[in-house]
Structure 1
Amino acid sequence: MQTAWIIRSAADEIPAKNGVIVFAAGWAGSDELVRRRPLPEGYDFLCLYDYRTLPSPEETVNLYAWLEPYRTRHLVAWSFGVWAAGRIFGESPVGWDTATAIGGTPRPVSDRYGIPERAFAVTVRSIGGAGTVKFLERMCGTPEILREYYRHRSTRPLEEIYEELLSLRRQALAAPPELPEPGFWTRAVVGGRDAIFPPEQMWRYWNEAGVPVEVCPDMPHYPLYEPHILTSCIAPDETR
């Protein structure tokens, strides 16, 4: 896994901050997804991405130590980042004030709670060339949102993100039996037009796990086209 601070205060400045936001990007993501966007004011911002391997125990301890000094901590995870965040922070001594899962579940490859195994296998076979373009079109839903995505898309090499996809599949299928484990999640957001993770599968997981679910009828899989999405995750009332 890779980490990138988009905004980071010096140690003596942390007490004056509102807190920290940790964004766990989805597959093929990077800090470029959020680096040139307006972010919630008053917060430091850490991006996690590239889940070919998850952090070692030593790296995990260091990550927890980074977050511990903040008076408030907010987690926003998207797509496969929901699974990764669950693995990374599942036993963390650092608590979250809010933890929002967008467009994903802790069971990302699943015929009941995530992407059906057959559909995921088709994605693996089609990545590259026209197959990648088709995937991005489905992910974004409309030409306008696709253009917005291209302005912020990751420039990671195709070979690297393909390796990540294979690793995610292997790790996800090695998960324990498919029982909802709500863990630390406080809220889930499901896009009604998500063409990557079936909305009904996501709703089923979070409903059975007892986590409040917000269904956004017009949202595709890619959520960052909405300028207030990150603010709405940490302070929902401020965007209504």
Structure 2
Amino acid sequence: MTTNWITKDSNNLIIFFNGWGMDISPFKHLHSNDFDLLHIFDYSDSNHQDMIDERRINEYKNVVLISWSLGVWKSNQFLNHNKGVRCDKKIAINGTLQPINDQFGIPEKIFLGTLENLNERNLLKFRKRMCFKSPGETFFFEHLPTREFENVKTELKELFDDIKSESNVFANFDKAVISENDLIIPSNNQHSFWDGKTDIITLNDSHYPFHLWKSWDEIALL
């Protein structure tokens, strides 16, 4: 797990758990006037969670957790392992806490098919599906992640093993943002998981909706 602090001496902090295969590149357009940012990504080694300084996080006056895609599950795992971390608001974007599940996440057969057949060509196809019929496709492909393919493949295997082996206690999220055209984690499955658990915001967009926002502050205020 990789962490990157972007600080402006603010009293407020956003913790962002990114999705699989990502880095900061597709999110560089998001600025912030009011928040420092702790960006967490690359889950190819899940043994580095202790690198995150709980005390440093808790020094902030206001802490907002934003997580996306498989990062939603990863953020929940992090909170389970780091009970002392205080989050004043938790926002899940296009993800659930049961991400490999025929009813509540990615159907297991599809997840395994992606993992077993992953090559650079299929990764490109996956990313196109992430942006299906979205104005954000051009933006995303102009700001592609720069990580090495083998690292991305290792990360997906690590995530699969991690998700299948761990029995989670579910954290309470304050908002769930669901794109109605999500072809990665089916929108209906997201609704099935979150309905009755939290407030839901729907978007007419794809799995990657971040082109809709200009700042982290906008997302934190959802």
How does the TM-score come out when normalised to structure 2?
Answer: 0.91
Whole-angstrom CA distance in 1 between matches of 2:51 and 2:164: 24
One of 180, 185, 202 as aligned partner of 2:190:
202
The CA deviation at 1:42 is 2.0
One of 17, 37, 50 as aligned partner of 1:24:
17
Residues 1:81 and 2:71 are matched in the alignment: yes
Residues 1:8 and 2:7 are matched in the alignment: yes
The CA deviation at 1:80 is 0.6
Structure of greater relative contact order (alpha carbons < 8 Å, 6+ residues apart): 2
More displaced 10-residue stretch of structure 1: 158-167 or 143-152: 143-152
Equivalent residues in 2 for 1:57-136, closer than 5 Å: 58-60=50-52, 62=53, 64-90=54-80, 91-136=82-127
Whole-angstrom CA distance in 1 between matches of 2:178 and 2:166: 22
Taking structure 1 as reference, are residues 101 and 57 closer, same or farther at Cα in structure 2, changes over 3 Å only? closer
One of 41, 44, 56 as aligned partner of 1:49:
41
| Residue pair 1:55, 1:88 contacting (<8 A) in 2 also | no
| Residue pair 2:180, 2:202 contacting (<8 A) in 1 also | yes
Whole-angstrom CA distance in 2 between matches of 1:139 and 1:58: 31
How does the TM-score come out when normalised to structure 1?
Answer: 0.84
The CA deviation at 1:228 is 4.0
More displaced 10-residue stretch of structure 1: 181-190 or 115-124: 181-190
Residues 1:153 and 2:139 are matched in the alignment: no
Whole-angstrom CA distance in 2 between matches of 1:85 and 1:143: 26
Q: Which residue of 2 aligns with 1:227?
A: 213
Taking structure 1 as reference, are residues 143 and 79 closer, same or farther at Cα in structure 2, changes over 3 Å only? closer
Whole-angstrom CA distance in 1 between matches of 2:91 and 2:71: 11
The CA deviation at 1:182 is 4.3
Same amino acid, percent of matched pairs: 25
Whole-angstrom CA distance in 2 between matches of 1:182 and 1:176: 9
The letter for the 1-side match of 2:18 is: A
Residues 1:212 and 2:199 are matched in the alignment: yes
Which SS does the other structure have where 2:128 is aligned? helix
Whole-angstrom CA distance in 2 between matches of 1:55 and 1:187: 28
Number of matched pairs: 221
Taking structure 1 as reference, are residues 57 and 197 closer, same or farther at Cα in structure 2, changes over 3 Å only? closer
The CA deviation at 1:142 is 3.0
Which SS does the other structure have where 1:122 is aligned? helix
One of 168, 180, 186 as aligned partner of 1:192:
180
Whole-angstrom CA distance in 1 between matches of 2:49 and 2:149: 28
Whole-angstrom CA distance in 2 between matches of 1:42 and 1:122: 42
Which SS does the other structure have where 1:45 is aligned? strand
Whole-angstrom CA distance in 2 between matches of 1:84 and 1:58: 14
Say which one has the larger Rg. Answer: 1
| Residue pair 2:30, 2:215 contacting (<8 A) in 1 also | no
